[in-house]
A and B are shown apart, each in its own frame.
Chain A
Amino acid sequence: MGEDFPPSDEADLLARARQGDLSAFDELITLHREKIYMQICYMVRNSEDALDLTQETFLRAWRSLARFDGKVSFLTWARRIATNASIDLCRLRKRRPQAELEIGPMRIDAASRTTPTEPEVPGARLDRAEIRRRIDAALETLSPEHRAVIVLREIEELSYEEISRHVGCSMGTVMSRLFHARKKLQTQLTDLHEEF
């Protein structure tokens, strides 16, 4: 996806941010905030938590900017921070389950590819809500690490190599996690795609 080679303007922004230039870091946030937010959203399935974690991700990035070696792009690095933060939150939730895990249907972007092109009948709307609930429930059964690779591969469409860099493990581990996560999801969701 071409995320790993920083464009020259980003390199310039990074250099300035490293010297403490807040306006440069502000621009870096603007460049990447949406991707980071969306990735976290897919992982934690709660827009408020996603907003908090996005801020936390950029704050951690700022604090660690001196240690950023520039071998990967800022986005890749920030994604890694975001992935770790999301995994941490998911682990916390497993210890302290919380009630609200769903992103409300009203928050779906009007331009999203999932926006229905035709008006939905009430029954169909209920079905979509039920499917979302089932998918969320299935994702909840995955370990945070497995959920991370599923989101990065199947939703964000990153390559195995990129995922291994984001998650900080070998490609073999990524493939193994993907295999198990897919198997588990498929088992739980088979009846859904048989129906639709």
Chain B
Amino acid sequence: MKNSDDPQWSATRRLLREHLSASPPEHPDFINSQVLAAIRRDEGGRREAPAWSLGRLVWPGFAMLAAALMLSLVLLPRDFSGRGGDEFVSQVIATRVADPAMSVTSFRVPDDRGVVLWIEGADYIPANHRVR
């Protein structure tokens, strides 16, 4: 390894020192004033920052959440039927037949989650006949 006493490197170093000169800053106080101004801006910003600080944002945050919850309860469509997932999907309110020879009875079968419409006195019901 060439060390600093190497004559060739000494010559290069001399060259560097002679030609790599730099002058001190022309207006050194400018550095102070700029740095201090930046610090004051920082400090000022920090003092004004509480308007957006975490502490100040907590209560508006909670208020916004509560308002959003209320709005969702009021505005979002909900199922008011009170039907749960394990309840019937249809319900027979009333049954009626025009022919006195026939009778209709409805009863619920909880195990099968269905409603049975029991029709007596009909010879047949056509396949395309809609039971209303």
List residues of chain A with CB under 8 Å of any chain B CB.
22, 25-26, 29-30, 33-34, 37-38, 41-42, 47, 50-51, 54-55, 58-59, 62-63, 103, 107-109, 112-114, 128, 131-132, 135, 150, 154-155, 175, 179, 182-183, 185-186, 189-190, 192-193, 196
Q: How far is the CB of A20 from chain B (nearest CB, A)?
A: 8
B24 partner, pick from A30, A34, A113, beta carbons under 8 A: A34
Contact B24 A154 (CB under 8 A): no
Q: Chain B residue with minimal CB distance to A112?
A: B21
Add 12 more A-B contacts to A42-B20, A47-B22, A112-B21 (CB < 8 A): A22-B36, A26-B36, A37-B24, A55-B35, A62-B39, A108-B21, A108-B23, A109-B24, A131-B19, A135-B16, A190-B8, A193-B12
Q: Chain A residue with minimal CB distance to B10?
A: A193
Contacts of B25 in A (CB 8 A): 33-34, 37, 47, 50-51, 54
Given known A-B contacts A186-B8, A193-B11, A154 and B17 have beta carbons under 8 A apart = yes
Q: How far is the CB of A142 from chain B (nearest CB, A)?
A: 12
Identify the interface centre among B9, B23, B34: most chain A CB within 10 Å of its CB: B23
The 6 nearest A-B residue pairs measured at CB: A41-B22, A109-B23, A193-B11, A114-B21, A58-B35, A55-B34
A189 partner, pick from B15, B23, B31, beta carbons under 8 A: B15
A29 partner, pick from B2, B22, B24, B32, beta carbons under 8 A: B32
Interface of A is mostly: helix
Contacts of A47 in B (CB 8 A): 22-23, 25
Contact A155 B31 (CB under 8 A): no
Contact B19 A155 (CB under 8 A): no
Contacts of B15 in A (CB 8 A): 131, 135, 189, 192-193, 196
Given known A-B contacts A182-B2, A185-B12, A103 and B22 have beta carbons under 8 A apart = yes
Identify the interface centre among B2, B14, B31: most chain A CB within 10 Å of its CB: B31
Given known A-B contacts A37-B24, A54-B25, A103-B22, A59 and B35 have beta carbons under 8 A apart = yes
* Number of B residues with CB within 8 Å of any CB on chain A: 31
B13 located at the interface, meaning its Cβ lies under 8 Å from any Cβ of chain A in the complex: yes
B120 located at the interface, meaning its Cβ lies under 8 Å from any Cβ of chain A in the complex: no
A63 to B39, CA, bound (A): 8
A38 to B24, CA, bound (A): 6
Q: Chain A residue with minimal CB distance to B25?
A: A37
Q: Chain A residue with minimal CB distance to B24?
A: A34
Contact B17 A155 (CB under 8 A): yes
Contacts of A41 in B (CB 8 A): 22
B18 located at the interface, meaning its Cβ lies under 8 Å from any Cβ of chain A in the complex: yes
B1 located at the interface, meaning its Cβ lies under 8 Å from any Cβ of chain A in the complex: yes
Q: How far is the CB of A161 from chain B (nearest CB, A)?
A: 15
B19 partner, pick from A38, A59, A132, A183, beta carbons under 8 A: A132
A150 to B9, CA, bound (A): 12
Contacts of B17 in A (CB 8 A): 114, 154-155
A186 partner, pick from B9, B38, B42, beta carbons under 8 A: B9
Given known A-B contacts A26-B36, A59-B35, A182-B2, A42 and B28 have beta carbons under 8 A apart = no
